[in-house]
């Protein structure tokens, strides 16, 4: 009888130890699964915003410089692409490229007549239509904005132009166009 009791206690101790080990292992597995799930959700959100966030150019025009057949000021009418997250202008870079020139411009101001205040290293924004949740310095759903900037040099007739809008999160938008062969008007539409 004594032998059976000793074997029963030993079996009970081993059984309790196995339950404790199984509980600890289950806790580690659950914690790992939760961590992986959170990382997967975060990665999915970031990937979605990278793929879906972009800016849609509707119109690009330039205005005649002081004299001659060249232009200096450029204007873009923009809105968000469908399904896009809001874009913060302060986190956006505008790259303006000509054959022998490349300028990187950062956000300067947001106001009416803002182009008169800018230098050749900044771009400005004027809200033409504000969406339901308008927030300054953001391009949100429903907004239509006029982006303006000045070239660091005069741009002549028949010159190729490359404008790239690079948001911090999302895909870049590239506009490749050229000025007309002959500039005869004050305002020249160059895209679309």
- pLDDT string in tens for the chain (192-residue length): 555 556 677 788 888 899 999 999 999 999 999 888 888 888 777 666 555 678 999 999 998 766 678 888 899 999 998 888 889 999 999 999 998 889 999 998 766 666 666 777 889 898 888 876 767 788 888 899 999 998 888 888 889 999 999 998 888 999 999 988 888 788 888 988
Q: Are 168 and 86 within one domain? A: yes
The radius of gyration computed from the CA coordinates of the chain, to the nearest angstrom, equals: 30
Residue 99 phi, psi (nearest 5): -60, -45
Q: Are 180 and 116 within one domain? A: yes
**Spatial separation of the C-alpha atoms in residues 23 and 37, rounded to whole Å:** 21
Q: Which of 52, 69, 95 is the last residue of a domain?
A: 52
Helix (H, G, I), strand (E, B) or coil at 186: coil
Q: Are 59 and 46 within one domain? A: no
Q: Which of 52, 68, 84 is the last residue of a domain?
A: 52
Q: Are 44 and 62 within one domain? A: no
Q: Are 146 and 178 within one domain? A: yes
Residue 125 near residue 107 (C-beta atoms within 8 A)? yes
Q: Which of 52, 70, 94 is the last residue of a domain?
A: 52
**13 lies in which domain range?**
1-52
Residue 158 near residue 181 (C-beta atoms within 8 A)? yes
Could you tell me whether strands 70-80 and 101-110 are parallel, antiparallel, or unpaired per DSSP bridges? unpaired
**Spatial separation of the C-alpha atoms in residues 115 and 126, rounded to whole Å:** 9
108: CATH: 2.60.40
The sign of the dihedral angle between the CA atoms of 138, 140, 144, 150 is positive
Q: Are 58 and 48 within one domain? A: no
Q: Are 111 and 82 within one domain? A: yes
Count the domains in the chain: 2
- Tell me the pTM: 0.71
Q: Are 3 and 78 within one domain? A: no
Q: Are 45 and 67 within one domain? A: no
Q: Are 1 and 32 within one domain? A: yes
Residue 90 near residue 107 (C-beta atoms within 8 A)? yes
**Spatial separation of the C-alpha atoms in residues 50 and 139, rounded to whole Å:** 16
Please give the full DSSP string across 72-126, using - where no structure is assigned: EEEEEEEEEPTTPPPEEGGGEEEEEEETTEEEEEEEEEESTTGGGG--TTEEEEE
Q: Are 66 and 156 within one domain? A: yes
Q: Are 13 and 58 within one domain? A: no
Q: Which two tokens stand for residue 183?
A: 């500039």
């Amino acid at each position: 009888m004594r032998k059976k009791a000793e074997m029963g206690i030993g079996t009970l101790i081993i059984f309790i130890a196995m339950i404790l080990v199984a509980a600890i292992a289950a806790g580690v597995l659950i914690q790992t699964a939760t961590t992986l799930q959170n990382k997967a959700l975060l990665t999915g959100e970031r990937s979605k915003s990278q793929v879906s966030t972009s800016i849609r150019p509707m119109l690009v025009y330039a205005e005649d410089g002081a004299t001659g057949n060249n232009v200096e000021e450029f204007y873009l009418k923009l809105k968000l692409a469908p399904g896009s997250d809001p874009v913060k202008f302060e986190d956006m870079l505008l790259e303006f490229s000509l054959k022998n020139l490349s300028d990187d411009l950062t956000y300067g101001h947001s106001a009416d007549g803002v182009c008169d205040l800018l230098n050749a290293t900044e771009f400005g924004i004027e809200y033409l239509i504000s969406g339901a949740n308008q927030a300054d310095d953001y391009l949100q759903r429903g907004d239509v904005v006029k982006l303006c900037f000045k070239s660091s040099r005069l741009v002549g007739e028949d010159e190729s132009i490359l404008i790239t809008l690079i948001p911090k999160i999302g895909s870049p938008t590239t506009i490749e166009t050229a000025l007309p062969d002959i500039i005869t008007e004050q305002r020249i539409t160059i895209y679309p």
